[in-house]
Chain A
C-alpha cells in the first residue's frame, strides 16, 4: 500500500485545544438550556350544555366516520361509550386521533384541535357514559415521591417503556413510545385508560397517589439531565457499544494514522 499522508502532518495541535473549548461551551450551554413545559389547563366547564353541544358537532364532523354518529362504534373504530373524558383527551390531545391511516398502532402526530376543542370533545364523549375523567392538577404536577414512583415504574412500566422512558419494541411492528416529552396529564390518562395495546392500570392496581409518584419520577427524568453527560438516547449498551466503535475507536484510529504519517 502506498500511503501518502501529507495532510495529516499539517493539522495544528492547537486545533485540539480549540475543540476542547468548543466542547466545554457546548455542554455547558446544553446543560443551562433545561426546559420544563407545563400543560395549560383549559377553562372549559365540563358540565355545561354548550360544551357538550360544541363537542358533539366536532365529533360528528371529525370522528363519526369511524366511531359512528352516536359514538356507538363501527367496523372501523370501537365504541366510545364509557371510555371517559380521559381517553379522548389522551388520544386527541397527543394527536393520535383522528387516525391518519390504519396500521399496527396509531402514531403520534401534531395535535389537530385546539386545547378547548379537545376538552369539548372529551366532555361530549364523557356525557355518553361514565368513564375515567381528566385527572386533577394536583395528581399530575409532579409533587409526589419520586423514589416510590421509580419503583412502581420499574415494576409496571419499564419492561415496555424502558427504565429511562426511552420506549421499546412490541410484537409485529408495534412499540411502546418514549415518555421523555409526554405531559403528566397524558401519562395519567394513559395509565387509567390503557390506550391501544397498553394494559389498564386502574386505581385499585396503582392508586391515584401512586400514579402521581410515577409521574413525579418521569418528570424528574425529564427535568434532570443525566449526571454522566449525554445520554446517547438512554438505549443502554447497544448505543454505548456503537459509540465506542464508531467515535471512540474512530478517533483513535485517526490518531494512529497521524502518529505514523511521515512528517513533511
Chain B
C-alpha cells in the first residue's frame, strides 16, 4: 500500500505540488498508522451439516426436488385456472377469481424454482469461497502508454491537431447540424396557433347559459337554493365536435349560492353575482387541478391536489396553500326565462399561471 510522507504528522499537508497530483496512489488526508494490525488471514472453513451428515444431505436433496415439482404443479394449476375461472359475464367477482387463481399458480411456479435453486446452492453446492486478485482498473503502465501512443499516432497520421482549420470547421459543422432537428419539433403543436391567445379566452361569452355538468341542461336561478353547489359547463359544450375536453379544461365553473349577507363583494364586482349566486372558475390558479371541495358553512373551497384554500365569501382569495391568485370569477346574470347566463367571458386567463400572464 502506498504511503506518503504525510503519515504520522498531526495534520496532513495539502498536496500542493504537481508531483503529488501525478502520483496516482496519493493517500490524500488519510492517516496511515505505523503500527496497524495485520490482517489475520482467512478463518478456518466451517463445514455445514449437509457436508457431514448424509441424512441431512438426503433431506436437503428431497426438499430441492420437491420444490421443483411444486413449481410444475403451480404452472399446471395456472393453466387450469385460466380455463376453470373464465370471465365472460359482466361479473367482477369472476375477474377477481381469475386474477387470484392464475396469480397464485404463477406464484407457486416461480417461488418453487426460486426457493429450490437457492436451497440447492446453499446446502448442496460446495461452500468454499473463491478468491480473486484485483488489478488496478487503469491497467499496467505499459498498457496506458500503449493507449496514449495509439492516440498520438492517430493524431499524427490524421493531422487532427495540426490542421486546425479543418478541425475547427468540423467542430462547427457538428455543432450546427442538430439545429434543423430542433426546429422540426415546432411541429409538435399546430403551426397556426399561439398558446397565449388560446389561454386568454374560454368558451364563455355574453349570454351563454350556465348548464349542468355533465348533462348540459341549463340552470335556472331559482333552482340554486342556498347552500347548493352546482358543477357547471357552458351550454353547447356537450355538442362540440372537436376540442370538447380542451374547452372544458378552461370553462369548468363551480356555482354556489350563499346567503347574500355573508358575501363580501367589492363594489365593482357587486353586479357579477345574482342574489347570492356566484360562479367561479373550477381550475386552480396553482397548477390547474379542479378546485371543487366546497364547504357550505365556512365557504372554503379546497383543492385536493395541493391543498390551496379559497374563500368564496371574499372573491375566492387564497387563505392557505401554494396558490397565489384568487380563482377567477365568472360574471353572471339572469335572462328573460330565468336561466343563469354569463355576462361575458372571464375577465382574466383561468388556470395555472404562465410566463406571459400579467
Contact = CB atoms under 8 A, between A and B. Distances in A.
Contacts of A171: 295, 298, 300, 302, 309, 320
A198 interface: yes
Contacts of B230: 205
A47 interface: no
Task: Give the top 7 A-B pairs by smallest Cβ distance, nearest first.
Answer: A199-B229, A204-B223, A227-B95, A197-B295, A200-B227, A263-B122, A227-B92
Interface stretch (A13-21, A51-59, A118-126, A238-246): A13-21
B122 A199 contact: no
Interface string B256-283: 1000000000000000000000000000
B167 interface: no
B294 interface: yes
B296 A200 contact: yes
B115 interface: yes
A229 to B, nearest CB: 6
Contacts, number: 117
A155 B231 contact: yes
A223 to B, nearest CB: 10
A259 B118 contact: yes
A100 interface: no
Contacts of B115: 13, 16
A223 B302 CA distance: 31
Interface of B: 46, 48-50, 63, 66-67, 70, 92-93, 95-97, 99-100, 104, 107-108, 111, 115-116, 118-119, 122-123, 127, 212-214, 219-220, 223-231, 256, 290, 292-298, 300, 302, 304, 309, 320
Contacts of B295: 170-171, 174, 197
Interface stretch (A23-31, A90-98, A108-116, A181-189): A23-31
Nearest to B121: A259
Contacts of B212: 205
Nearest to A205: B230
B93 A225 contact: yes
B228 A205 contact: yes
A156 B127 contact: no
Nearest to B229: A199
A151 interface: yes
Interface in A161-175: 168, 170-172, 174
A28 B230 CA distance: 43
25 contacts: A14-B66, A17-B70, A17-B108, A20-B104, A20-B107, A28-B100, A151-B214, A160-B293, A160-B304, A172-B298, A197-B295, A197-B297, A199-B229, A199-B294, A200-B228, A200-B229, A200-B296, A205-B228, A224-B92, A225-B92, A226-B96, A229-B96, A262-B46, A262-B48, A264-B48
B225 A197 contact: no
A2 to B, nearest CB: 11
A176 B230 CA distance: 18
Contacts of B298: 171-172, 197
Interface string A200-234: 11101100000000000000000011111100000
A174 B93 CA distance: 35
A49 interface: no
Interface residues of A, number: 45
B256 A159 contact: no
Nearest to B114: A255
Given A200-B225, A205-B230, A263-B50, A170 B293 contact: yes
A196 interface: yes
A73 interface: no
Interface string A1-39: 000000001001110110010011001100100000000
A194 interface: yes
B67 A13 contact: yes
Contact of A201 (B107, B119, B228): B228
Contacts of B118: 258-259
A170 B108 CA distance: 44
Most chain A CB neighbours (cut-off 10 Å) among B46, B70, B220: B70
Nearest to B95: A227
Contacts of A197: 295-298
Contact of B119 (A13, A155, A159, A160): A13
